[in-house]
């Protein structure tokens, strides 16, 4: 059976992991949008489902419609982007000494560059 890494079960609205109040790392000013237990991604074998932000990283789906998730206290509409979670197992980079290291979080930072910005991409950037 072939499983696609872009299935809806591997997507979330928002990328910041919420830490419950009272636990280490909790931030009442920026509580996060998703729970750790809701994060899952497909491993490179296209069979195993990995769970949690220690095994998966969020990739922004910039071509999807922004989702209205509610209203702020001032009445402004709160919008959020959609992310698909991908496996950390193939992420690699070089450290300061030039040695190859693999995996996230902490060891490698994910960054993207986009040469051509469409009107839709520019519109989304206003919400960041």
pLDDT tens column, 96-125:
787 777 766 556 665 555 556 667 666 665
Report, as an integer, the average pLDDT of 24-41. Answer: 82
Higher pLDDT, 19 or 87: 87
Q: Is residue 78 part of a domain?
A: yes
The secondary structure of 73-119 as a DSSP string is TTSPEEEE-EEEEEESTT-EEE-TTS-EEE-TTTT-------SS--H
Note whether residue 68 is domain-resident. Answer: yes
Percentage of residues in the chain with pLDDT exceeding 70? 78
In a domain, 3, yes or no: no
- The answer to whether residue 48 sits within a structural domain is yes
**Confidence at 27, pLDDT banded by 50, 70, 90:** confident
Total number of domains in the chain: 1
Q: Which domain holds residue 102?
A: 8-125
Say if CB 41 and CB 83 are below 8 A apart.
no
Tell me the range of 53-57, 76-80, 107-111 where mean pLDDT is highest: 53-57
- Domain assignment of residue 1, yes or no: no
Is 2 domain-assigned? no
């Amino acid at each position: 059976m072939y499983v696609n890494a872009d299935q809806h079960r591997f997507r979330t609205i928002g990328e910041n992991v919420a830490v419950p109040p009272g636990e280490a790392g909790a931030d009442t000013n920026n509580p996060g949008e998703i729970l750790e237990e809701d994060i899952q991604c497909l491993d490179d074998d296209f069979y195993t489902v990995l769970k949690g932000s220690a095994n998966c990283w969020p990739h922004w789906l910039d071509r999807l419609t922004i989702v209205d998730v509610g209203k702020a206290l001032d009445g402004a509409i709160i919008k959020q982007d959609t992310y698909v979670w991908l496996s950390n197992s193939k992420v690699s980079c070089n450290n300061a000494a030039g040695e190859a290291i693999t995996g996230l979080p902490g060891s490698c930072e994910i960054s993207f560059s986009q040469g051509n910005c469409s009107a839709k991409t520019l519109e989304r950037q206003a919400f960041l």
